[in-house]
Amino acid sequence: MQSEAREDSLQLRRREFLKLGGLGLGTMAMHQLISGKSWAGVGAGLHHAAQARRVIFLHMAGAPSQFELFEHKEALQKFDGQAPPPGLIEGKRFAFIDPRLSRLMGSQRAFARHGECGAPVSELLPHTAAIVDKLCFLRGLSTNEINHGPAKLFMNTGFGQFGRPSLGSWVQYGIGSESEDLPGFVVLQSGNRGPRGGSPLWGNGFLSPRYQGTPLRSGPEPVLHLRTPEGISEEEQREFFKTVGGLNRLRYEALEDETIAARMASYELAARMQSSAPELVDVSSEPESVRELYGIEGERPSFARNCLLARRLVERGVRFVQLYHADWDHHGDGNNNLGAPLEARCREVDRASAALVLDLERQGLLEDTLVIWGGEFGRTPMSEVRVAVGRDHHIDAFTMWMAGGGVKPGFSFGVTDDIGYSVVDEAVHVHDLHATILHLLGIDHERLTFRSQGRDFRLTDVHGRVVREILT
């Protein structure tokens, strides 16, 4: 009888819910807010003292060429146009080129050394060059995946196929968020298209849905359906909140389904975001000097605006902010090459990336905010035999930089051979990068696990070491 009564009650509440259909999703949280009941999860806790409290990951989707930005090799310039050494390319596989037909290609841009650390940076990144003494360069990175989609997944989830939790999700699961009014893991996108790989790049995988990244849109409505539609009275709202809250609690008590708890948490957060999100994306409150520092032009969406939003997000307690800027592919196909398209991408990100580091420092946030800049893999020292100058995908050696959050400023780690083809010393794999990011946040990558499908998973799988050489 109790089972029948519960089912009858559930059916009644469903009918009430349907009568009130069409309300904004964000308003569903108000009942939990009124009752004071929260379904927000808490992290597993720190394993050791953290040097960073938050992360901003600037992902250049498409993989920038290190040879046109950060790596100037004299030998590569000297042997420009010659065939690569046979022993170097024997048995190697590339995405598009036949290495036997390829030719070495020197950097297509002028380089100079900058700062007290003497880091080489090309003419395409003058603003980045001006802050090299604040940056830590990883010059000996490698990864496993040779094509963009799987490589982006690998950089963001530690695995080249769909289904694993993203780095931001693992961080949320591990230590939670400091923000009550915004998601703990936020995603911002710019460029002509979204990154190949799509939402799994910031997905929760087998973790609770509460840990997935939340994409914010540009404009006055950063998240759809936060506002209560016009024509809904306060009484209708109260009835709606009561009905949905009751439905969710009944269903959760019956099934103890984590997805229901996560949905309730999202409704609660969405209600709080009704006021916090519009205020967040309205950067008109920032001084003109700050907008000029980032290079923000008017109200149009841009990477520059997203960098400023990233700073505003972390100062409001958001734990992990992921920025994707697309169109960094450098093939010689006549469209994306090392000429005007690369120049355009650099203009779009150079000033804002440097401004973010400077602004965080000025706000007193850089010391415990880890900033990461780079793509999913590198580029070959050989050119492609195509209609225009370009470089193919390269997984064995590429460059990224980090700043703040416990890494050494004005420091470079990683040594490649004379033509930048292979790492010869101080190698860092993507698994090592992930282990180091977690370590800086106070998380032991070997202890942060989640049991799924009969075994314990972790972000670094069975690999990874903390790159202690780059830590302060």
* Residue 223: both structure tokens together: 């998240």
- Taking the C-alpha atoms of residue 373 and residue 399, their distance in angstroms, rounded to an integer, is 9
Three-state SS sequence of 422-443: CEEECCEEHHHHHHHHHHHCCC
In this structure, are residues 31 and 249 in contact, taking their beta carbons and an 8 Å threshold?
A: no
pLDDT tens digits for 115-152?
999 999 999 999 999 999 999 999 999 999 999 999 99
> Scanning the structure block, which residue is given the tokens 């460059």?
399
- Taking the C-alpha atoms of residue 149 and residue 199, their distance in angstroms, rounded to an integer, is 11
Mean pLDDT by 10 residues, the chain (472 residues): 43 39 38 32 69 98 97 96 87 85 93 98 98 98 96 97 96 92 93 83 94 81 64 74 77 72 64 66 90 91 95 96 95 80 96 98 98 98 84 97 98 97 97 98 97 95 97 98
Structural domain boundaries of the chain? 1-37+226-280, 44-220+282-470
- Taking the C-alpha atoms of residue 227 and residue 443, their distance in angstroms, rounded to an integer, is 37
In this structure, are residues 141 and 45 in contact, taking their beta carbons and an 8 Å threshold?
A: no
Least Cα distance to 242 among 411, 20, 64, 442 occurs for 20
Q: Right CATH number for 44-220+282-470 from 3.30.1550.10, 2.40.160.20, 3.30.465.10, 3.40.720.10?
A: 3.40.720.10
Q: How many CB atoms lie within 10 A of CB 240?
A: 23
- Nearest 5°: phi and psi at 286? -75, 145
pLDDT of residue 462: 96
- Taking the C-alpha atoms of residue 407 and residue 141, their distance in angstroms, rounded to an integer, is 16
* Residue 361: both structure tokens together: 């420092």
Q: Residues near 345 by Cβ (< 8 Å), separated by ≥ 6?
A: 60, 64, 325, 327, 328
pLDDT of residue 325: 97
Q: Residues near 434 by Cβ (< 8 Å), separated by ≥ 6?
A: 158, 167, 445, 459, 460, 464
Least Cα distance to 213 among 162, 272, 170, 252 occurs for 170
What's the helix, strand, coil split of the chain in %, to 5? 40, 15, 45
- Taking the C-alpha atoms of residue 437 and residue 405, their distance in angstroms, rounded to an integer, is 9
pLDDT of residue 267: 60
DSSP designation for 159: S
269-306 burial string, b = 16+ CB within 10 Å, else e? bbbbbbebbbebbebeebeeebbebbbbeeeeebbbbb
The residue type found at 379 is: R
> H-helix or E-strand containing 265?
helix 258-281
Query: What is the longest distance spanned by two Cα atoms in the chain?
Result: 86
pLDDT tens digits for 61-84?
999 999 999 999 999 999 999 999
Least Cα distance to 456 among 464, 465, 448 occurs for 448
pLDDT of residue 275: 61
pLDDT tens digits for 197-206?
889 999 999 9
* Residue 347: both structure tokens together: 């203009």
- Taking the C-alpha atoms of residue 72 and residue 120, their distance in angstroms, rounded to an integer, is 7
- Taking the C-alpha atoms of residue 213 and residue 223, their distance in angstroms, rounded to an integer, is 13
- Taking the C-alpha atoms of residue 414 and residue 400, their distance in angstroms, rounded to an integer, is 11
Least Cα distance to 422 among 71, 41, 52 occurs for 71
In this structure, are residues 433 and 460 in contact, taking their beta carbons and an 8 Å threshold?
A: no
Least Cα distance to 418 among 187, 141, 77, 175 occurs for 77
